Amino acid sequence: MRDSDRTRPAGRAMARNLFEQVRFHYFRISPFARRAIHVGVLVVALGLGIVLGWSLLSTLLYTVLLLSFAALAMRFPRGAATVLVVFGWMLLVLALVGPLNQPPTLLTLLFLGAAAGGLAHLIRWVPPWATTLLALLPGAILTAAAGFELLPAVVALWGSYGMAAIALAYRFTKAREVRAVMAAQQHQPIRARGRDQAPQRPPGPSGPHEPAAPPPISVEEALAELEGMIGLAPVKEQVRSIAASIEASRLRAEAGYTTEPPMRHFVFVGPPGTGKTSVARTLAKIFYAFGLLETPYVVEAQRADLVGEFLGATAIKTNELINRALGGVLFIDEAYALINSGDGQPDRFGAEAVQTLLKRAEDDRERLIIILAGYEKEMSSFLASNPGLSSRFSTRVRFPTYSPEELLSITEVVQARRGDTLAPDARPLLLARYEDVHRRGIVDELGNARFVRSLVEAAAQARDVRVVSAGGTPTREDLVTTTAADVAKAFEEITARFRGYQETPSLEEALADLDRMAGLEPVKRQVRAITAQLRVARMREEQGLPVQTQMRHFVFAGPPGTGKTTVARIVGRIFAALGLLARPDVVEAQRADLVGQHLGATAIKTNELVDRALGGVLFIDEAYSLINSGYTGGDAFGAEAVQTLLKRAEDDRDRLVIILAGYEREMDRFLATNPGLASRFNQRIAFPSYSPAELARIAELLAERSGDRFDEQARQDLAEVFAWVCAEGLIDGLGNGRFARSLFERAALRRDVRLAAGEGTATPAELTTITSEDVRAAVEELAGR
């Protein structure tokens, strides 16, 4: 290639880069949004035409033509440039030949423009718009001469066709020269490699098992395979923009610009079962169809395929894996597992694999694409562990969770491949079940499309058992039709393995349990207000209305024994019933469950506790003990636990509710130690001390649950005892509801001792009645402790 071909004015290069940026952002807009923009432009143009008095028909025609040309320029820039050249030719012909009143000549010359543009697009490796311009330029001069009556029209006509043919022949010869030069520059020897996925040729002269040549694949076929996937709209848009940038790079090379092969490495992030491996295979085919890869094959690997059993063996194993993948794509799933810091010690084996991978990613970047895949949060931490990872793997593709409708479509596709069908009543049932797991936020943990495959297989098994158990000879429809009962049975079997799924109560049940608690009227009002706020936010979200971010972390402040743990469990059930948590489970913890024995271990211990609570509620009692001000120089261990807890409270806010509980005054001091605590835990529920009547009601409820009762005199004694301890200000120190429980249990014990010491057989009434004597004996025991 000549040096003059490599040098271009800076203005042209800047304009080209600007145009490519516009194209990139254009294809990042969803197709629906693009159509909406076009309709908006059309409406604005018609409105402007009405205001300015333009012809509405002309305004509509011109606006549609301009929008069509803009869409053509974004999708096919070469074609748009050629259209401009042909349009200019037509205007010239109409302006110069029209006045001569020679319709045959006019139509023939107009046809020349379309023919030259079409033939120019068949000549590859040179810009077609430039070929079209070169073919029509002599004809333009001759046509102008004929228009000014300097030449006969017939001479201008045949001269234009002749000069166009010569120009096209010249450009065809030029294209072959450019192609030969580029092939010589980019030629690389291709080594034969064994590949797990490669089909085998039959035995022949070259050897018994020589790998077969990859099948021919066009870019359109590869992109059509991508479009055939269900869902994944943002992924498809991003892959299409990648394909557009590859095409733009190829066009720049054809135009004579010096370009590097647009190879890159990728990071695929998203939950399991969202098609990351399938998209990796399609991406390999796209790069292969563009001629950037030697094969369209993907080598799939995990940590065990890269890491050896001793230092030094890891580099060998990683290099061997990369050698197998050369010329294609290396797909490493759960790539964050390469750096395993679970025991608090550096992972030298994983670090060796990463270093080897980084070196080969740079050295073989023109012959290899590496894709790292995994969960988004873990992949972000993994990429941050080494600066080379984030710089070499800068293209991130995010895979969204499948919607219930997409899961249903995947189900129908999987069933069709098996030759099965869904009964009419099974489809709405299945959609309702998918909406339920999606609402609870557990579809990612179930595995998205993997969950669908498991469900289809389990439903087919349930159908087979049902058909065989029915006896007789089943029809063909019976053998392939999955009913609603089959789907329900399979769904229950699979979700039963998922912790807490079946136990999730309804919202009415959770609120009824709250109402049955004795006392706590201000707490009940606040919990109901929070519930109403969450329900309205959910309804707004379902109708597409803006929703203000809801706080999901709470502070329960109050004396001991006032029902904080019980209300925390009810809050967990409310969030689960509303689909805001996957499970109603509550993990209870204290300082010892978060703080380790040395710096660094605390973060690991706290993260493990939070991981255990994910999907439910983490309840930390006496949370103020996390910051122990009695330590000289501050509590570094507690501060580390608080920092870790704050980060997880923000990162996992959609999958976790954290409740900090303790005495009100101590909790105030604790929240003041860190601004992040006060901002993230700004929902406070104050638990008041129980009144004497509420304490008596608690004791009676406990007796009812145990099948016991207090007689009239015993109830009066209870009221007197509770009134005295409350008046003396002793109830908080005694533990409020815990004191009522202890008093009941002691009184029941004294009754049993009394009855066992008596003569004869006690009646059922005596066995279940707690008397005044029993209550007084229990009070004396508790007072004497």
> What is the rounded distance in angstroms from the CA atom of residue 133 to the CA atom of residue 30?
35
Instruction: Give the residue among 677, 615, 618 at the shortest CA–CA distance from 642.
Output: 677
Yes or no: say if 406 and 473 are a contact pair by the CB < 8 Å rule: no
Which residue has better confidence, 745 or 494?
745
Q: Mind giving me the DSSP string for 654-693?
A: TT-EEEEEE-HHHHHHHHHT-HHHHHH--EEEE-PPPPHH
Residue of 336, 331, 343, 437 whose CA lies nearest to 377: 336
The 10s digit of each residue's pLDDT in 661-680 is 998 888 988 888 888 888 88
CA 675 to chain centre: 31
Confidence of residue 532 (pLDDT cuts 50, 70, 90): confident
- Better pLDDT: 219 or 207: 219
Residue 421's pLDDT is what? 87
Q: Say whether pLDDT at 29 is over 90.
A: no
Chain-centroid distance, C-alpha 523:
37
Task: Kindly state the percentage of the chain with pLDDT values over 70.
Answer: 84
Tens-place pLDDT, residues 623-656: 888 887 655 556 778 888 898 899 888 888 888 8
- The whole-angstrom separation of Cα 297 and Cα 330 is 9
**pLDDT recorded at residue 200:** 37
Which of the two residues, 218 and 554, has the higher pLDDT score? 554
The pLDDT value recorded for residue 682 is: 80
For residues 713 and 599, which has the higher predicted lDDT (pLDDT)? 713
* pLDDT at res. 27: 63
Give the pLDDT score at 102.
57
Cα radius of gyration rounded to whole Å, the chain = 38
- pLDDT, one tens digit per residue, over 708-728 is 889 888 889 888 898 988 988
| Exposed/middle/buried for residue 719 (C-beta within 10 Å: 0-12, 13-18, 19+) | middle
Coil vs helix vs strand at 361: helix
- DSSP assigned state of 214: P
pLDDT band at 193 (very low <50, low <70, confident <90, very high): very low
Q: Is the pLDDT of residue 246 over 70?
A: yes
What is the band of 105 on the pLDDT scale with cuts at 50, 70, 90? low
What's the pLDDT at 104?
66
Q: If DSSP codes are grouped into helix, strand and coil, which group holds residue 772?
A: helix
Residue 519 reports pLDDT greater than 50: yes
Please check the confidence at residue 694 and state whether its pLDDT lies above 70: yes
Residue type present at position 295: T
The sign of the CA dihedral 126, 129, 132, 134 is negative
pLDDT of residue 784: 66
More confident residue, 568 or 388: 568
Contacts by 699-707, CB closer than 8 A, 24 or more apart = 699/740, 699/741, 699/743, 699/744, 701/518, 702/740, 702/741, 702/744, 703/744, 703/748, 703/770, 706/748, 707/768
State residue 97's pLDDT score. 63
Write down the pLDDT at residue 336.
87
CA pair distance 427, 132, nearest whole angstrom = 56
Token pair 């004694």: residue: 717
Q: Residue 523: exposed, middle, or buried by beta-carbon count in 10 A (0-12, 13-18, 19+)?
A: buried
Share the mean pLDDT of the chain: 80
Does the pLDDT at position 508 exceed 80? Answer: yes
655 is written with which tokens? 């999958």
Tokens of 360: 């080969």
What is the enclosing helix (H) or strand (E) of 636? helix 636-651
